[in-house]
Structure 1
């Protein structure tokens, strides 16, 4: 593999959701461990699934991977990091300060800023503190989908600038003393990210137009951050072996056309291509053959489960039900790369074609909803929640509502609003506003990949305290968000997945998280399925046979209603 040549000590894997970042990162870590290197694999994804991929239960501390010498792994859990951060800040004062003061401190450290800075500190320490990774020859970061990762990588520079320029000694986290202690580490992180001899950024993509476009955008943004040592991995390249199989031929052509039209920004990067496999690379056995040029079990045609088509619900009937209601929110959620955006765009177009006013929007930082929408019907409005615009809107509102301030007070407020974590509050407020405005129309929301979305929905239970205590003008939008999300006649939440192990199990975990928030999905969409299609290509036959067990699991164990979309329906 070309990207494994002349490796620096630190590797980052990033890309659009579902392109195989985790598989590539895990296979790389195993490969390097097999050479005798002691390797630490770190997941920064709030919805990490490396436990399942590595067949090892992990925590936020380095854990030896089962049956793999020299390989250790950990998850950066934002909630656990935030709990640790609060404990470090508050515990020294227990028994010293009154309980009322401690309760106020806990309240102050329960919002967006604490979650952000705690996870960021954990990431920065692993990147820049040599003691944190002492004893490891190689550190491999498996990151969240692109938008979340770009924000993570930009934070060292953002927080360094904030601390350097801050003249008031305060931040949204209170006194800057704790942040100032980290300033040297933040500066070191900025330096290491830009050091080609220390860090390589591996952009993972599929031979797919949307994934390649996002990889190109990411490459440019990474260059703006000073990260120049970039390598492109094109994962899952399919080549048809049965030219009589129309699905195989169409799939191969789609890949070929996408690579032919590859953005110029990517053509200049060194590249590695990885072939599509019949079996998803989950588990140590799958990872061991991940880099193999050909899979040896492609021709298997033995069904791995039974499934009855009677268990499939009609998505068109679901859209008709939405049209009858004429109001409310439709949300698509799930692991990156499962087709949330395509499903959201399809539903929005169908509703608009029925003559209904519809808004299609997204909470995804790496939004490509306009590309998915295609030709937009007259009564379909396509929007996105733009973090930069929402930050400015939020700042203007807070300043205007603050009333008359003296120079010191205004300077203090402006410093507070320059904090990088203000973005999370601003985006949450925009999300609440979007849901609030769906009282007399239908709004279809394409959400960010699972981890980022769960943090956003968790905000409905925590951020609103922070927004409300500011006396925010939009408190009704915030306070009314959870009741709307919990109302099945107003919010229809669709969990999107693929007929594969990790997407199904992660979707089930997502459903459990939603249940704790008392939110019940309207149904599941199993996307990009071969089950409804006639295929004869050996590799596709093997993949189709594997689907039965997952469709059966979804329909009998998880979904209230299950809708199945074939590959052909998704643009083949």
Structure 2
């Protein structure tokens, strides 16, 4: 695989960087922008990533208007906060109904427009203004975006009912407000933007991934989904490649990378792919940014890592046991190790004499390797695909009875949103919590505050209009108040000692606060700091973890634990190793 050097590639004017949280989208987009500007191009960089640390990277205050970076002539940077934009958008849609509809109906409308889909649409609104601006097209050689719209958003834009401003008179339980209902005047702009996105002579989708199996699978999913909506011109950038092994730890990582890349999914094998080496530094500040894509790097000498003592996972479990928690969720973004941490918590609680029910959405085969049923632990696997299919069918069968074909098509697409999956899975969890005869239930995926508020507001709304016809099952109605009882429920936040995972966990935390859900504990998983590595590159990376572990300590008011990086797959008896 060749190194990524943007000036050696025949790049299009519009570049969209996409990939799951923490793979380095923003870093790679910034590095590309600086690299191209340094070679005499006029470049506009647009960030719509709510977790974006663009201000840290450029060490300057940025606005949504676009600011020239004096130390990189030719580079202009605009930073939008789509969360704020989504709030403004939500108010423009809901505002006219205040005072005209019951408060519970207005609250339900607000919550429907409080999810990630609305944030995505607000972000797309910003993309569109750049993609369709003739002045920007003339002025800049390259316009670079550090996030890309999802297939779900692009499909939504093509559905007539998504634009409708209507309150639905049926009891489908799906969104009854067109997600795009406040944007009717933008329809033509959006059509133009979608056309530009699908034009391979103008736009390239840069799929950013890590040399890890889960990351490559996610890139493959995004590639397929965006190909299906017409974005064919795609390129794969593998970020954070460790180029040489010098000790046991680095050898393990190096071998794993090779294995993951040799087994990458078929779709990705068809794409042009380039690598970006793992760097020893965090990409903040102009100098580091300019260095990122340079073939020659300064020699660096990693400093010895001074030993630090951190609280252990065992300490958290002791407290959960003593406070007699009944429902424990592990929460965090994909790939941070929620299932392993949940299994370790379940194991330790069982050792303390509790009867534990461990419920997981992880593929069943994988969990059987991690932990198996015993006298003290019962393991349940929730098949997300099946739960989702059942829930969709339940909603659609109601919709088909009394909705037009166009509206059914909208409901069908709306059901593809991440919120729908959460609701379907949460219903399954509620059944487990309801039925269990165990002392404690440990669940490896937590619903977001938005999902809980959506269920809660749907319930209140339906009660008020006297047609609660089973959209919110009884088990869910019973579980909602239990989740808001801090004496019974605990959400353990799981993160990594890196920028994006910590920022994303902060967002999840705010969302839980909004829903009044108790959360005290944080776990920083897979820490290199205590791995004992002597590889200079990994030592430097480990050193950088200190900042983020300190940040987690501050955010959690010192209610946290650090779990060290382990080379082997953690299963069975080895779960005890991560507790201490």
User: Structure 1, unaligned stretches of length 5 or more?
Assistant: 363-367
Decide whether aligned partners of structure 1 residues 461 and 198 sit closer, same or farther in structure 2, where only a CA change above 3 A counts. farther
Q: CA deviation at 1:332?
A: 1.8
Q: Deviations over 1:123-168 (max 9, x none)?
A: 4444445555742523322228xxxx5xx333333332334999x9
Q: How far off its partner does 1:486 sit?
A: 3.1
SS in 1 for 2:427: helix
- Match of 1:493? 491
TM-superposed CA distance for 1:14, in Å, is: 1.6
2:11 matched to which residue of 1? 7
Alignment of 1:291-302 (within 5 A): 291-293=293-295, 295-296=297-298, 298-301=300-303
Superposed CA deviations along residues 464-504 of structure 1, whole A, max 9, x for unmatched, are: 55566663521656665653333334332222222345544
Corresponding residue pairs, total: 539
2:236–2:273 contact (8 Å) kept in structure 1: yes
1:491-530 equivalence runs, <5 A: 491-504=489-502, 507-508=505-506, 510-530=508-528
**Alignment partner of 1:226 is 2:230:** yes
Deviations 1:326-377 (A, max 9, x none): 842312225x553345534655677799974421027xxxxx7975775663
With over 3 angstroms needed to count, the CA separation of the structure-2 counterparts of 1:220 and 1:48, relative to structure 1, is same
Partner of 1:27: 31
Distance 1:273 1:350, change over 3 A: farther
Q: 2:483, 2:263 → 1: CA distance? A: 41
From the superposition, tell whether residues 101 and 509 of structure 1 become closer, same or farther in structure 2 (CA, over 3 Å). Answer: closer
Map of 1:204-215 to 2, 5 A cutoff? 204-215=208-219
1:429 aligns with 2:427: no
Contact 2:18 2:146 in 1 (8 A): yes
State the Cα distance separating 1:431 from its structure 2 match. Answer: 5.0
Residue in structure 2 matched with residue 135 of structure 1 by the alignment: 136
Moved more, 18-27 or 70-79: 70-79
1:366-397, Cα deviation, whole Å (9 max, x unpaired): xx797577566354232254485265245257
SS of corresponding position for 2:361: strand
CA contact (8 A) 1:13 1:201 kept: yes
**CA separation of 1:344 and 1:205: change in aligned 2, threshold 3 A:** farther
Distance 1:115 1:208, change over 3 A: closer
**2-structure distance, mates of 1:502, 1:163:** 35
Please report how far the alpha carbon of residue 415 of structure 1 lies from its aligned counterpart in structure 2 after TM superposition.
Answer: 4.3
| Distance in 2, Cα, partners of 1:19 & 1:191 | 28
Show CA shifts across 1:423-477 (max 9, x none): 55644533542453324352413359xxxx4644564675655566663521656
* TM-score normalised according to structure 1 size: 0.78
Deviates more, 1:510-519 or 1:346-355: 346-355
Q: 1:485 to 1:35 in 2, by over 3 A?
A: farther
Larger displacement relative to structure 2 (263-272 or 134-143): 134-143
CA contact (8 A) 1:432 1:477 kept: no
Are residues 498 and 114 of structure 1, via their aligned partners in 2, closer, same or farther at CA, if it must alter by over 3 Å?
closer
| Aligned position for 1:445 | 444
Query: Which residue in the other structure is 1:264 paired with?
Result: 266
Partner of 1:471: 468
Q: 1:196 aligns with which of 200, 213, 235?
A: 200
CA distance in 2, matches of 1:279, 1:372: 35
Distance 1:510 1:252, change over 3 A: same
Q: Does 1:333 align with 2:332?
A: yes
User: 1:233 Cα deviation (Å)?
Assistant: 0.7
* Residue aligning to 1:380: 379
Q: What 5-or-longer segments of structure 2 have no aligned partner?
A: 169-174, 571-580
Q: Which residue of 1 aligns with 2:253?
A: 251
Alignment RMSD: 4.3
Structure 1 distance, partners of 2:484, 2:371, is 30
Query: Is the contact made by 1:332 and 1:496 (CA closer than 8 Å) also made in structure 2?
Result: yes
Alpha-carbon separation, structure 2, partners of 1:28 and 1:218:
21
3-state DSSP of counterpart to 1:135: helix
TM-score normalised to structure 2 length? 0.77
Cα deviation, 1:157-187, whole Å, max 9, x if unaligned, reads 3332334999x99893379986654443443
- CA gap of 1:479–1:156, structure 2 versus 1, over 3 A, is same
